[in-house]
Amino acid sequence: MDLGVAHSKLLLRSVAAVRNSAELQMLGVADGETRKMNMCQAINDALRLTLTTDDTAVVFGEDVAFGGVFRCSVGLADEFGGERVFNTPLTEQGIAGFGIGMAAMGHTSIAEIQFADYIFPAFDQLANEAAKFRYRSGNEFNAGGLTVRTPSAAVGHGGHYHSQSPEAFFAHVPGLKVVVPRSAVQAKGLLMSAIRDPNPTIVFEPKILYRSAVEQVPVDDYMLPLSQAEILKPGADVTV
């Protein structure tokens, strides 16, 4: 019996599964070209699409220029240059503050916090500045162009500083949106939506899923809705 995430029946592991996906059919990408990707590659694909289609987009964070610890941004600095994909100092509060400033000036600002465990120094910037910027300026300014990506949760050997899941802290902050993808197809579509959403968004990426499984991911540009649940298994008494 095949066990584990890689063998989940909820994954779109074949082209036929993509063709039959009601969600992707509604988005108009179910019949297009697909490519086998894991979650890390799907995130990279979303970042590349954004940098290609949005001249204001920038990607920054600790070590992102060489691809990041988990290689989610690999190749982007070579393709788009150091002015659009660049490393920052080791300061999570500074990364968040810089990202807010870039977003307020009209950029699509995509920040990476290397591990979610280290996002706490940036909590004040995200909860008290990014989330409230639009409200306290009477909608004159906003940080809606900010997206923060961060690897989260445990992998079994990370210890107490590389295993935390702090998304609940941010889910209770009005003005922020929180996203947690479950698979490659979902990761690409949700990240595209997070980047383009007019509100600051934090994407917590379960790092144990980065290379746990692959799916046939549409190569076209698509966005999955942030404001509604994905129905995996409908039922009369319980729906998953």
Residues serving a catalytic function are 92, 162
Cβ-based neighbour number of residue 213 at 10 Å: 19
Closest CA to 205 of 69, 18, 58: 69
Of 82, 134, 79, 148, nearest to 104 (Cα)? 134
Structure letter (DSSP) for residue 38: -
The residue written with tokens 């002015």 in the block is: 83
> DSSP of 118-138, one letter per residue?
G-GGGHHIIIIIITTHHHHTT
CA distance 120 to 122: 5
Tokens of 93: 């509060």
CB-based contacts of 81, cutoff 8 Å, min separation 6: none
Q: Please give the DSSP secondary-structure letter assigned to residue 17.
A: H
**Look-up of token digits 């910027």:** 133
